[in-house]
């Protein structure tokens, strides 16, 4: 069965909502399921719709916020009431740009905002952002979080709306204008209405806890905690999730240096500082012919291998004995070299003691692909159009 989902906010790499998701419905009712890289919450939404207990983590604060709001019951009247309060105050203050308390004297974020936003929109956004922050500081709630998502929906867009950029929702923002007539207040109001309509179509039967966190080290979860892990890790070199989200996050309490710090913790984001170790070469067996790649690319691949190993180790730690880990992975192409991300994950998982139960491949449905679909019709192109579902078990050994 193909699940249709009502999504609250654009996201560049959603998990295609079947196969792994159908698997979720087969777990015993009330199972504890974790997605350590929750993204915008496709797995989370399916798990709570099926009545499970769900825990999700993501480094990206916007992803965590979208997933949280998508899996929480909301008081719609309260959302509308808070919206009225915010908009009234922001309109009153819109003559001059309000100072964002989290930016204060930090120059890089000011410059960033000055580049991507025109004055009129900057004044309106800063008025709204300051009010959202004030409400959040005095009484944090799901309803305030929902309004943050509604605001972000007019920034992280394909065509430019509140910012001067287009393609922000595809993680590749580029500035296409120097001025804009966009009415932020009106756009925000429409966005709140649309978001609530979409939210009302969600089925929320279980409960979800979503936090910002690093999948490679989930401190808040104890050993042997969950029945299953269902996730889709980033592919090598595929998507820089924070590149587009930055435009929103600067209005939601984050500075550019803070976002840069988060980015450096993203799976496969940067080069490894360590020299190649034995573990790296074991993870990379079958990964692809990387021998002719430049040292810079090889270093990035080493870091990816180290990250996959850390992810797997953490997965093994938090799973109950006999628990299942299910991952959806696609392939990459780096400087013309075909990269088999799924093999690397399978190697990493087996190195930490997880047993591979099943590996299946399927064509990626049109429109669900994370990366541009290759036009050619050769063997490489056809492998790039597939995604791989890997199913592992933490086998319990009896003594
Ligand atoms: C392919 S998306 C996940 C899609 C998600 N499973 C879904 O159901 O829509 C990959 C996610 O991994 C997150 N990520 C990357 N590195 C991470 C890390 N070290 N810890 C936690 N999340 C991370 C990214 O921010 C991104 O949201």
Residue nearest to atom 15 of ligand 1 (CA): 266
Which CA distances in Å does 367 have to 16, 269, 364? 9, 25, 8
CA pair distance 61, 289, nearest whole angstrom? 35
Which ligand 1 atom lies nearest to the CA of residue 235? 1
Which ligand 1 atom lies nearest to the CA of residue 36? 21
Instruction: Return per-residue pLDDT of the chain as tens, 399 residues.
Output: 334 567 899 988 767 657 777 889 889 989 999 999 999 999 999 999 999 999 999 999 999 999 999 999 999 999 999 999 999 999 988 877 788 999 877 789 999 999 999 999 999 999 999 999 999 999 999 999 999 999 999 999 999 999 999 998 887 899 999 999 999 999 999 999 999 999 999 988 878 999 999 999 999 999 999 999 999 999 887 678 899 999 999 999 999 999 999 999 999 777 666 666 889 999 999 888 888 999 888 888 999 999 999 999 999 999 999 999 999 998 888 888 888 999 999 999 999 999 999 999 887 765 555 555 555 666 666 666 788 999 999 988 755
0.95 exceeded by the pTM? Answer: no
d(CA 214, ligand 1 centre) in Å: 9
Residues lining ligand 1, judged by CB closer than 6 Å?
Answer: 13-15, 35-40, 42-43, 57-60, 63, 214-216, 231-232, 234, 241, 265-267
Pocket probe mutation, ligand 1, options 234, 263, 331, max atoms within 8 Å of Cβ: 234
CA pair distance 66, 150, nearest whole angstrom? 10
Pocket probe mutation, ligand 1, options 39, 44, 328, max atoms within 8 Å of Cβ: 39
d(CA 330, ligand 1 centre) in Å: 14
Query: Pairing relation of β-strands 386-393 and 319-330?
Result: antiparallel
d(CA 206, ligand 1 centre) in Å: 22
Delimit the domains of the chain by residue range: 76-200, 268-399
């Amino acid at each position: 069965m193909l699940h249709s989902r009502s999504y609250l906010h654009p996201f560049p790499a959603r998990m295609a909502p079947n196969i792994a998701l159908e698997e979720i419905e087969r777990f015993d009712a009330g199972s504890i399921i974790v997605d350590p890289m929750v993204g915008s919450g496709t797995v989370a939404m399916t798990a709570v719709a099926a009545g499970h207990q769900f825990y999700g983590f993501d480094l990206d604060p916007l992803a965590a916020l979208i997933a949280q709001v998508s899996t929480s019951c909301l008081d719609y009247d309260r959302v509308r009431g808070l919206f009225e309060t915010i908009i009234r105050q922001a309109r009153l203050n819109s003559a001059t740009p309000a100072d964002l308390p989290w930016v204060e004297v930090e120059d890089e974020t000011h410059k960033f905002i000055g580049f991507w936003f025109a004055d009129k929109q900057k004044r309106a956004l800063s008025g709204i952002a300051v009010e959202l922050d004030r409400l959040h500081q005095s009484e944090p709630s799901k309803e305030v979080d929902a309004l943050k998502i509604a605001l972000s929906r007019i920034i992280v867009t394909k065509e430019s709306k509140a910012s001067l950029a287009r393609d922000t929702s595809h993680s590749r923002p580029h500035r296409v204008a120097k001025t804009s007539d966009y009415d932020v207040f009106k756009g925000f109001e429409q966005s709140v209405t649309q978001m609530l309509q979409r939210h009302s179509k969600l089925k929320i039967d279980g409960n979800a806890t979503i936090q910002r966190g690093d999948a490679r080290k989930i401190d808040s979860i104890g050993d042997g905690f969950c029945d299953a892990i269902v996730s889709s890790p980033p592919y090598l070199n595929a998507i820089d999730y924070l590149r587009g989200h930055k435009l929103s996050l600067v209005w939601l309490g984050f500075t550019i240096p803070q976002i840069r710090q988060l980015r450096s913790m993203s799976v496969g984001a940067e080069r490894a500082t360590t020299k190649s170790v034995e573990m790296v070469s074991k993870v990379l067996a079958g990964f692809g012919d990387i021998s002719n790649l430049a040292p810079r690319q090889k270093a990035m691949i080493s870091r990816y291998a180290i990250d996959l190993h850390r992810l797997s180790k953490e997965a093994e730690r938090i799973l109950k004995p006999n628990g299942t880990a299910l991952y959806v992975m696609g392939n990459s192409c780096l400087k013309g070299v075909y990269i088999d991300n799924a093999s690397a994950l399978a190697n990493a998982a087996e190195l930490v003691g997880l047993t591979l139960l099943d590996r299946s491949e399927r064509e990626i449905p049109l429109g669900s692909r994370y990366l541009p679909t290759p036009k050619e019709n050769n063997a490489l192109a056809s492998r790039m159009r597939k995604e791989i579902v890997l199913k592992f078990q933490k086998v319990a050994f009896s003594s």
